[in-house]
Amino acid sequence: MLGIIRKDLIYTAGYMMMLPAMLLYFFATRRALDTNAVFMMTGYIYLVVLGSILITESNEMKNRGYAFLAAIPVTAGEIAAGKLLPIFLQVLLYSSIVHFSFKGFDVSPYWLVMAKKWLLLNALVAMVLSSFIYWLVFSLGFEKA
């Protein structure tokens, strides 16, 4: 299972490079934390999650990774956990970095609480969405899903 996690994290490490560029853009163009910044900063989590899933699954299809996993003694639960854990780690890393970056803006306490609530909501929805997508991938296959 650790091999699956490491492989998926390596595939999607480039996708996490988008986060520092996004934060630099927002800190360079905005002084206050407004609704557009909150919407974009918390909404990019969907791009990270969906992009990571598409990258890993296309590499699995190209390299016949599931055929290899079927040939070794690995249970389906270990494969599912190995696929979902890197996504959850990315969501946790992204959420924590964006959460702490909110303090770099000029913001009232009310807007700070609202921004944190939106971040938590988007992180939870992204994790549920990724679980649903992998359920579709494992039950129907990547091409049909």
What pLDDT score does 122 carry?
Answer: 93
DSSP string, 35-52: HHHHHHHHHHHHHHHHHH
Which residue, 66, 26, 48, is CA-closest to 125?
48
Digitized pLDDT (tens) for each residue of the chain, 145 residues in all: 677 777 777 777 777 777 788 778 877 887 777 777 888 888 888 888 888 888 888 777 877 877 777 777 877 778 888 888 888 988 998 898 888 888 888 888 888 889 899 999 999 999 999 999 888 887 877 666 5
Residue 65's φ and ψ, nearest 5 degrees, are -70, -35
* Separation between Cα atoms, residue 130 and residue 54, nearest integer Å: 11
What pLDDT score does 129 carry?
Answer: 92
Using CA atoms, how far residue 51 sits from 30, 54, 68, in Å, is 27, 5, 23
| H-run or E-run covering 25 | helix 18-29
pTM, whole model, 2 decimals?
A: 0.82
